């Protein structure tokens, strides 16, 4: 049966027999299952590439670190240039932009592109994660399912949140943290209507993961050392450290991108970036790929295996050399990750954040244990706490950080230390860095949805929807009589834009401006439009003003109408009444 008639029959049956609420639940289950499948697929492709490189390349790993990243980035470059012909976009920022400005509509090509570019990048040693691409692909799946079944924008948004939750739940087998991530990062409302679909999607995705990969977990660790009150000061210190590291992570991200802007071509960026990554991998092997093995080794207390084969092997019997190398991972993970992106690679930042946090937490614990003051803390616990602190700081997602680590460890023995470390890290980072790597550019453009309903409604509104153009245009050289004959008598408006021959708005005239002279025929030929026109209280610039800025201009100017300037020319007016009506309508749609 052809697909379109089949879908049409399904839609007819759905409208007849399935309520909207139950239909959303079914879609959430479907999205969860497919999100789990996407996550399993992207992991297996990447691990397959890594297995081939490790077992079929007859060269020691360190000697080919210089080559592998360039090969991977080169393959991505060729694929993008000659096959997909679509620019690589960062996963979560592109989804957030779609939610705010494209009604949650994602191209079908975004389903498979991350499944190719991200494994090529990470599999060949790019220091990136796979979670972001998995979320991007799953979100594209959910968006296209929503389009297929003709759901509205709000339901599409919820399904994209379900896809993100499903991807995280599948990879980490942590359904609660997955739900909280969707709420914190995608700014979904925490209501029963949204919570149940998110829960259904998370559970469905976890079941999919169990079906394909069994009961194996990423981090096989159980807490042996519970919370001890005397360690509270150390948790605070770690929280401060992870907060500072989170600020460094964000600042370095944008600094590396700025550095690569000096290279004019993609080829130059690829070569420079590939060589830089190769050098970093040679000296610090744990920067290779995602880094889950590194985290597990630290949790097992095997820091020598975590560090791998390095040029400093002869000095690893000195614990301070080990601490220095682990701290080097903390410093260079952000650089290696961003260099991979800037050189043309694809991937995510969540797992690199966890790797960086695990190294920092382990460093802090080792310093405490070896500084000679008689203190002893669990290095494994601090490794977990460091991961949580970086997640909270870099992503501005403190609850996600707490519940993710709690679920990974299979219990809540670390709940109090997690809250201490995470809250300190989040407070410090939020005070210094207002927006995350995901949201900074969107926030600067006014395209970011937040939990602030007023801000979100203004972000969802489009300027074109409130621009009115049925105004009679006057020329500044018109006489008063000509203005009355050709303008006032033929217009239902009491406002007239005055535009010169080049299309520039040179002023406006209100009916009140000419009310006292409009019947004085002696002035019809002796006075002109230019005599009565004046400047508007403010201007709206089509290309640059967000709806938030438009609303502010109305508030500050107390005007009822403001002219819109597009490419320097008069384009129309926005009236306060139409703006407020559109705002109220969007608010009702957003909160209903």
pLDDT tens digits along 493-512: 888 899 998 889 999 888 88
Q: Is the pLDDT of residue 320 over 60?
A: yes
Looking at the structure, do residues 316 and 397 belong to the same domain, yes or no? yes
Range of the domain at 40: 3-213
Look at residues 365, 283, 293 and name the one whose alpha carbon lies nearest to residue 329. 283
pLDDT digits (tens, 9 = 90+) for 183-198: 888 877 666 677 899 9
Category of 497 on φ-ψ map: left (φ > 0), alpha (ψ -120 to 50) or beta: beta
Q: What is the CATH classification number for the domain harbouring 521? A: 3.10.580.10
Q: What is the DSSP letter of 172?
A: H
Quick one: 544 and 431 in the same domain?
no
Can you give the pLDDT at residue 236?
95
Which of 451, 473, 505 is the C-terminal boundary of a domain? 451
Verify that 58 and 155 share a domain, yes or no: yes
Mean pLDDT value across residues 167-195? 83
Question: 559 φ, ψ to 5°?
Answer: -85, 160
Q: Which pLDDT value is given to residue 456?
A: 67
DSSP 106: -
User: What Rg, from alpha-carbon coordinates, does the chain have?
Assistant: 29
Confidence at residue 218, expressed as pLDDT on a 0 to 100 scale: 62
Identify whether residues 169 and 261 lie together within a single domain. Answer: no
Q: Taking Cα atoms as reference points, which of 249, 49, 211, 212 lies closest to residue 130?
A: 49
| Mean pLDDT score, 530-556 | 88
- pLDDT in the model for residue 76: 92
Q: How much is the pLDDT for 59? A: 47
Instruction: Quote the tokens at residue 418.
Output: 């997690």
Q: Which pLDDT belongs to residue 64?
A: 65
- Span 102-114, average pLDDT: 88
Can you give the pLDDT at residue 436?
A: 85
Q: Which domain-ending residue is among 418, 451, 484?
A: 451
**Roughly what angle, to the nearest 10 degrees, separates helices 266-283 and 232-260?**
150
Helix (H) or strand (E) holding 497, with range, is strand 495-499
CB-based contact 172:213 (threshold 8 Å): no
369 and 353 fall within a common domain: yes
Number of domains in the chain: 3
Does the pLDDT at position 17 exceed 80? no
User: What value does the mean pLDDT take over residues 446-474?
Assistant: 77
Examine the pLDDT at 45 and tell me if it is beyond 50: yes
SS3 per residue for 338-407:
HHHHHCCCCCECHHHHHHHHHHHHHHHHHHHHHCCCCCCCCHHHHHHHHHHHHHHHHHCCHHHHHHHHHH
124 and 62 fall within a common domain: yes
The tokens of 415 are what? 């709940």
The CATH number that applies at residue 248 is 1.10.3080.10
Residue 220 lies inside a defined structural domain of this protein? no
So what's the pLDDT on residue 215? Answer: 64
Lowest mean pLDDT among 116-125, 419-428, 522-531: 522-531
Measure the CA–CA gap between 553 and 509, rounded to whole angstroms. 20
Residues 417, 420, 422, 427, Cα dihedral to 10°: -170
Query: Is residue 150 domain-shared with residue 20, that is, in the same domain?
Result: yes
User: Domain for residue 517, yes or no?
Assistant: yes
Q: Do residue 300 and residue 324 come from a single domain?
A: yes
256 and 330 inside one domain: yes
193 and 313 within one domain: no
Greater model confidence, 515 or 467: 467
* pLDDT confidence of residue 58: 46
- Average pLDDT estimate for 7-15: 73
Distance CA 422, CA 325 (A): 25
Q: How many residues does the chain have?
A: 592
The percentage of residues in the chain with a pLDDT greater than 90, rounded to a whole number, is 37
d(CA 370, CA 384): 19
| Any domain includes 150 | yes
Is the separation of the CB atoms in 425 and 390 below 8 Å? yes
What is the average per-residue pLDDT within 131-141? 93
Dihedral in degrees, nearest 10, Cα atoms 376, 377, 379, 382: -150
Mark whether 464 and 575 lie in a shared domain. Answer: yes
Task: Answer yes or no: is 222 within a domain.
Answer: no
Is 218 inside any structural domain? no
Q: Is 372 left (phi over 0), alpha (psi -120 to 50) or beta?
A: left
Tell me what the pLDDT averaged over the chain comes to: 86
Look at 209-218, 339-348, 383-392 and tell me which has the smallest mean pLDDT.
209-218
Least confident of 368-377, 385-394, 512-521, 540-549: 512-521
Instruction: Reduce the DSSP state of residue 446 to 3 states and report it.
Output: coil
Q: Residue 201 has what pLDDT?
A: 93
Residue 86's pLDDT is what? 85
The confidence band for 217, taking pLDDT boundaries of 50, 70 and 90, is low
Q: Is 38 within 8 Å of 167 (Cβ atoms)?
A: yes
If you ran DSSP here, which 8-state letter would residue 493 be given?
-
Supply the pLDDT for residue 119.
93
Q: Is residue 290 part of a domain?
A: yes
Is 221 contained in some domain? Answer: no
User: Is the pLDDT confidence value at 454 over 70?
Assistant: no
Kindly report the pTM of this predicted structure.
0.80
Q: Which of 94-108, 215-229, 439-453 has the highest mean pLDDT?
A: 94-108
Distance of CA 440 to CAs 343, 444, 492, Å?
21, 6, 44
Q: Is the pLDDT of residue 566 over 70?
A: yes
The pLDDT assigned to 406 comes to: 86
**Residue 311's pLDDT is what?**
79
| Greatest mean pLDDT among 19-23, 297-301, 358-362, 438-442 | 358-362
Q: Are 155 and 193 in contact (CB under 8 A)?
A: no
| Between 543 and 248, the higher pLDDT residue | 248
Residue 219 belongs to some domain of the structure = no
Residue 481 has pLDDT above 60, yes or no: yes
- Considering the domain architecture, whether residues 12 and 129 belong to the same structural domain is answered as yes
| End position of a domain, from candidates 433, 451, 469 | 451
- Is residue 1 pLDDT above 80, yes or no? no
The CA distance from 282 to 371, in Å, is: 30
């Amino acid at each position: 049966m052809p697909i379109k008639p089949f879908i049409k029959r399904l839609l007819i049956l759905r409208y007849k027999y399935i309520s909207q609420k139950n239909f959303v639940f079914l879609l959430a289950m479907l999205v969860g299952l497919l999100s789990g499948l996407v996550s399993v697929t992207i992991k297996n492709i990447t691990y397959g590439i890594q297995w081939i490189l490790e077992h079929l390349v007859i060269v020691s790993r360190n000697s080919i670190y210089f080559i592998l990243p360039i090969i991977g980035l080169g393959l991505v470059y060729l694929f993008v240039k000659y096959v997909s012909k679509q620019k690589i976009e960062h996963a979560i920022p592109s989804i957030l932009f779609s939610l705010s400005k494209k009604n949650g509509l994602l191209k079908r090509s975004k389903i498979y592109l991350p499944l190719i570019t991200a494994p090529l990048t990470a599999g060949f040693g790019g220091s990136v994660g796979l979670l972001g691409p998995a979320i991007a692909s799953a979100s594209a799946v959910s968006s296209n399912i929503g389009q297929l079944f003709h759901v509205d924008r709000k339901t599409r948004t919820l399904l994209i949140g379900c896809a993100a939750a499903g991807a995280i739940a599948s990879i980490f087998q942590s359904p609660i943290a997955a739900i909280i991530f969707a709420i914190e990062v995608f700014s979904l409302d925490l209501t029963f209507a949204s919570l149940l679909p998110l829960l259904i999607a998370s559970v469905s995705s976890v079941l999919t993961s169990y079906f394909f990969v069994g009961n194996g977990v990423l981090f096989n660790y159980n807490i042996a050392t519970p919370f001890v009150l005397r360690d509270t000061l150390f948790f605070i210190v770690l929280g401060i450290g992870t907060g500072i590291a989170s600020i460094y992570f964000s600042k370095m991200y944008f600094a590396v991108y700025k550095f690569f802007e000096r290279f004019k071509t993609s080829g130059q960026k690829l070569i420079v970036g590939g060589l830089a990554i190769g050098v970093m991998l040679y000296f610090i092997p744990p920067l290779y790929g995602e880094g889950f093995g590194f985290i597990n080794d630290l949790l097992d207390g095997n820091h020598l295996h975590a560090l791998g084969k390095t040029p400093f092997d002869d000095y690893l019997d000195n614990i301070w050399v080990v601490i220095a190398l682990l701290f080097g991972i903390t410093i260079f993970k952000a650089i290696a990750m961003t260099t991979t992106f800037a050189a043309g690679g694809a991937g995510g930042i969540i797992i690199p954040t966890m790797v960086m946090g695990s190294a920092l937490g382990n460093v802090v614990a080792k310093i405490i244990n070896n500084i000679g003051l008689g203190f002893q803390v669990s290095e494994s616990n601090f490794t977990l706490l460091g991961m949580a602190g970086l997640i909270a700081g870099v992503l501005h997602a403190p609850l996600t950080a707490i519940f993710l680590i709690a679920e990974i460890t299979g219990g809540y023995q670390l709940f109090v230390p997690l809250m201490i470390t995470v809250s300190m890290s989040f407070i410090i980072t939020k005070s210094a860095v207002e927006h995350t790597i995901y949201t900074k550019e969107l926030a600067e453009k006014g395209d970011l949805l937040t939990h602030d309903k007023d801000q979100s409604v203004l972000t969802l509104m489009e300027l074109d929807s409130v621009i009115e153009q049925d105004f009679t245009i006057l020329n500044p050289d018109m006489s008063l009589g000509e203005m009355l004959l050709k303008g006032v008598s033929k217009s239902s408006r009491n406002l007239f834009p005055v535009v010169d021959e080049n299309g520039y708005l040179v002023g406006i005239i209100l009916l009140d401006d000419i009310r006292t002279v409009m019947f004085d025929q002696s002035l019809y030929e002796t006075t002109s439009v230019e005599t009565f026109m004046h400047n508007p209280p403010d201007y709206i610039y089509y290309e640059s003003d967000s709806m938030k800025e438009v609303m502010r201009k109305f508030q500050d100017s107390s005007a009822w109408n403001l002219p819109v300037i597009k490419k320097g020319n008069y384009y129309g007016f926005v009236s306060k009444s139409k703006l407020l009506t559109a705002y109220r309508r969007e608010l009702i749609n957003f909160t209903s």
